[in-house]
Amino acid sequence: MTKRTKFVEGRGYTQADWDDVSDNLPLTKAELRDAKPVAEVFPHFAAAIKTRGKQKAPTKELVSLRLNRATLATFRALGPGWQNKIDEVLSKVARDL
C-alpha cells in the first residue's frame, strides 16, 4: 500500500484534479495479476512515449557543452535532428584541423 501524499501546487495539476483522483483505492492482488501492459492496451500511446534503451555499442558520448544562444537557435531552427547536425559540423571541422 502506498503512502498518501498531499497536494502540491505548481506541478501541472489543480486542487480539483487532485481531489478527483485522490480517493482511488489500492488495487487488489487479482486486479494487479490481471493488469495488461500499457503497450498492449494503448499501443499508439506506448509508441509515442517509448524511449531508446541503452546503446549496444556506444559510438557517441554524452557531454555538457555551453553554446552561444544565437548559434543554438540557428541549429534548433533546423528542426528535428538539429543535435546530429551539430555533430556533423563539428566532425567536419575536426577532420580539417
Q: What is the pLDDT of residue 4?
A: 56
Distance CA 91, CA 74 (A): 18
State the pLDDT at residue 60.
84
**What size, in residues, is the chain?**
97
CA 14-17-19 angle, 5° bins: 110
The domain limits of the chain are 62-97
Written as tens digits, the pLDDT of the chain (97 aa) is 455 577 777 778 888 888 888 777 788 999 999 999 988 998 888 888 867 777 778 888 889 999 999 999 999 999 999 999 999 999 999 999 9
